Amino acid sequence: MLIMQNTLLTAAIACVMGAIVGGGLKAFGIEVPLLSSRKRQILLAFLGIVLAVVAFSVNGDGSRRMSDNERSALRREQSENGHDIIRYQDILTRLVEKEAVLKENVAEQRKEMGDMHPSPDLDRARRVLANAQGELAKAAVTEKSLQDDIQNMRNRNQEIQKLLDENR
């Protein structure tokens, strides 16, 4: 057992023993004076029970142990994050493919514009090129955002796994 749990458990045992014998107890480095009333004995026993419950319900670092429901909720979140990561990676793959097509279109538009003389067709081609470049910029921002989301979910899954491992 760890130090905090030992301390709490020692105090709990001393309180219960002191309540049973009515005080006048020196044990585990704790001294309980004589108790003059039954009410004080009951309160001391109750305090001992509370300390014992606390000793068994906290980790050595003072943090509370997770309940089965909390562990289940974390496992569900971890699973959902895993599914989201897969879904985001699929979206990211499609986005990268779309980005490649857009880059190809931009290159083709530039080539066509180089062959054109000033005309309404050239103006239209410039607008199409500007739109394609805008779409390409949006795709890059979305790609970065998805990559960040995926990394955040992976980090959260690592934190969850660490919490679950600590509370086994």
Q: Taking residues 52-70, what's their average pLDDT?
A: 68
Q: Could you tell me the residue ranges of all domains in the chain?
A: 3-57, 68-166
Residue 151 pLDDT exceeds 80: yes
Structure tokens at 126: 């410039």
Residues 6+ apart with CB under 8 A from 15: 32, 44, 45, 47, 48, 51
**What pTM did the predictor assign?**
0.41
Which fold would CATH assign to domain 68-166? Helix Hairpins (1.10.287)
Would you place residue 22 in the very low, low, confident or very high pLDDT band (cuts 50, 70, 90)? confident
pLDDT confidence of 1, banded at 50, 70, 90? Answer: very low
Given phi > 0 = left and psi -120 to 50 = alpha, else beta, which region is 21?
A: alpha
Query: Both ends of the chain: CA-CA distance in Å?
Result: 15
Alpha-carbon span 25 to 146, nearest angstrom = 65
In this prediction, residue 116 carries a pLDDT of 55
Q: Which helix (H) or strand (E) holds 58?
A: none
Q: What is the CA radius of gyration of the chain?
A: 34
